[in-house]
Amino acid sequence: MLKKSLAMGLLLGLVALLAGCGGTKAPSASHESSAAAITAGHISVLSLRGDTSNMTQDQIVELNRVGTWMDRDIIKQLKRAGYTPKLLSSRKDFNGSGYLLIIDVDKFNAGNRAARVFVGFGAGASSLDLDYQLLDSHNKLITQWKDGVGSSKGGTYCAQTLNRNTIKRLKGQL
């Protein structure tokens, strides 16, 4: 019995050793070239909260909390992607330098935190749907799109996923 356990342990150890532990991979040439292809351009971001007329005060507070987090995260993600971002408080603040990315909340459901904690399995999930417009320095529309996700982890996880999707889309457009 002891010999079987020892043999099984050695076999598992050998498999783990031969398979490796993953580690980090060196960036491939295609990854480096795509990163170099991103122009360190200026992008102004205008984040709007959409129509809140049908929301309760608590829902508006939660939307503003998620929106504030989303604004900070999109700026961080844009910097990481090689852009020079600037968060605007109003459309009139856009000075025509670079691009203007307008993010507008189409639908927001804060979900139910208690249901997420006690029930799980997707109960009480949050969802966030956004409308995007990308304009050039002359306010000419380059592209527009909609994106939305849901998460059982809360609104900031929705915002983070949407911000990542936005960066991928911008890399394909600019």
pLDDT at position 1 is 53
Q: What's residue 20's pLDDT?
A: 46
- In order of start, what are the domains of the chain with their CATH numbers? 38-105+129-147+163-173 (3.30.160.180)
CB-based contact 114:124 (threshold 8 Å): yes
The predicted-structure confidence for 18-66, as pLDDT tens digits, reads as follows 444 443 344 344 433 333 333 448 999 999 999 999 999 999 999 999 9
Among 2-16, 75-89, 146-160, the minimum mean pLDDT is found in 2-16
Which of 6-10, 44-48, 115-119: highest mean pLDDT? 44-48
**Distances in Å between the alpha carbon of 160 and those of 5, 18, 100, 114, 164?**
46, 36, 20, 22, 6
Contact criterion met (CB below 8 Å) for 158 and 25: no
pTM above threshold 0.85:
no
CA 93 to chain centre: 24
**pLDDT confidence band for 85 (50 / 70 / 90):** very high
Q: What is the pLDDT of residue 110?
A: 86
